[in-house]
Amino acid sequence: MQTVLFDLDGTLIDHFSAIHSSIAYAQRSLGLPESSYELVKTTVGGSLPVTMGKLIGSDKVEAALPYFNEHFNRVMLQDVSILPGAKWLLETLHAKSYQLAVFTNKYGEHARAVLEHLQLDRFLAVTLGTDDSPYRKPEPQFTALVMEQLGANPESCCLVGDSPFDAAAAEVGKLKSYLVATGSHTVQALESETQAEAVFHNLFDLGASVFKLQQPNHS
């Protein structure tokens, strides 16, 4: 295995507060009830329009997106953090000459801005977001596109994520998937809802088990 695709939200970073506040802003702007943080967190994953459609109805998404983007562009670099183990895993795999990429249903422009802000972009060969093409996870064309950009093949590649969308995106590309319960789903939910190779509590456990890495003494 020489190429690793990483999901972003809930896998490498915690951006849920910024996403929730931006959705709430859009809802207030349209005179709609605000969704709770927990509801938003468990709904995120299928791309912003899909998430918004589930929360406010697909007929209101087009009107809501400009409000979301207005607020999110203000707060996205202020209200984001690196999840435990993420920098360690990226840095260690990069040093071992793994080819690493972020493969996300987040807007590509937002993903690249956040990764640069957090100084994680230096470990990555590619960052592909859902608006960088007509596709999104788990559409097979999206998985095929990132594999093509990396010059990778399924036998030497795996996907690390935190949701059934990630497992499904790996499955359609015939990749192995490894999931962490650091985002929108619990270990139990991921084990019952996906065909992932394995599910872990965090990236430290995943790195030690899947890549046989020596865990650091502290996070």
pLDDT for 111-144, tens place per residue? Answer: 999 999 999 999 999 999 999 999 999 999 999 9
| Same-domain status, 46 and 94 | no
Yes or no: say if 158 and 170 are a contact pair by the CB < 8 Å rule: yes
Q: Give the pLDDT of residue 46.
A: 79
| Same-domain status, 114 and 182 | yes
The number of angstroms, rounded, from the C-alpha of 53 to the middle of its chain's C-alpha atoms is: 19
Quote the CA–CA distance of 121 and 115 in Å, as a whole number: 5
Taking residues 91-95, report their average pLDDT: 98
- Domain span including residue 120: 3-14+80-210
What is the pairing mode between strands 81-82 and 13-14?
antiparallel
Written as six digits, the tokens of 171 are 């499955």
DSSP class of residue 9?
B
| Same-domain status, 34 and 49 | yes
Task: Kindly state whether residue 145 falls inside one of the protein's structural domains.
Answer: yes
Q: Which domain-ending residue is among 30, 50, 75?
A: 75
Peptide bond into 154 cis (omega under 30): no
Q: pLDDT band at 219, cuts 50/70/90?
A: very low
DSSP class of residue 135?
-
| Same-domain status, 52 and 89 | no
| Same-domain status, 32 and 91 | no
Task: Kindly state whether residue 218 falls inside one of the protein's structural domains.
Answer: no
| Same-domain status, 94 and 199 | yes
Task: Kindly state whether residue 219 falls inside one of the protein's structural domains.
Answer: no
Indicate which CATH number applies to the domain containing 41.
1.10.150
Written as six digits, the tokens of 39 are 């509801």
Number of domains in the chain: 2
CA distances (Å), 84 to each of 89, 157, 206, in order?
10, 23, 12
| Same-domain status, 93 and 200 | yes
- Segment 98-112, tens digit of pLDDT: 999 999 999 999 999
Task: Read off the pTM.
Answer: 0.92
| Same-domain status, 84 and 97 | yes
